[in-house]
Amino acid sequence: MTEHTHGNCENLLGSLSEYIDGELNPELCAEIEKHLAGCENCRVVLNTTKRTIDLVQTPTENPAMPTDVRERLFKRLNLDDYLNPK
């Protein structure tokens, strides 16, 4: 592994979210990418954090609301007459 200072890892960690979301300016991105090229641990943290976000966004994570819950909601809102068309 390339020599690097621990301070750079902390800097990267602080900007990790914004880097993943593409919200950093090109200069900061370049700085981060330079650090990543030489720091395997930071690459692992980046890859696994990205993957963590991907996993929670997969459709299997989004079960639909049960039909009886919908029925009670419509009744509570006095919208019983609109229960049928969904």
Partner 1 sequence: MIKPMPPEISLEALVAGDRAEFARLVDAYSDPIYRLGLRMLGTPQDAEDVLQNTFLNAMIHLPKFEGRSSLLTWLYRIASNEALMLIRKKKPEINLEDVSPSESDEDLKPLQFTDWSALPEDELLSGEGKQTLDRAIHTLPESLRIVFLLRDVEGLSIKETAEALNLTEVNVKTRLLRARLFLREQLSSYYGERLAHEVQND
The DSSP H or E segment spanning 72 is helix 67-76
Nearer to partner 1, 26 or 59 (CB): 59
Nearer to partner 1, 17 or 30 (CB): 17
Amino acid at 42: C
Amino acid at 27: E
Integer Cα distance of 68 and 64 in angstroms: 12
CB of 35 to partner 1, least distance (A): 14
Nearer to partner 1, 37 or 73 (CB): 73
Query: Do the Cβ atoms of 49 and 12 come closer than 8 Å?
Result: no
Interacting residues with partner 1 (CB under 8 A): 13-14, 16-18, 20-21, 23, 40-41, 43-45, 47-53, 55-58, 60-66, 69-70, 72-74, 76-77, 79, 82, 86
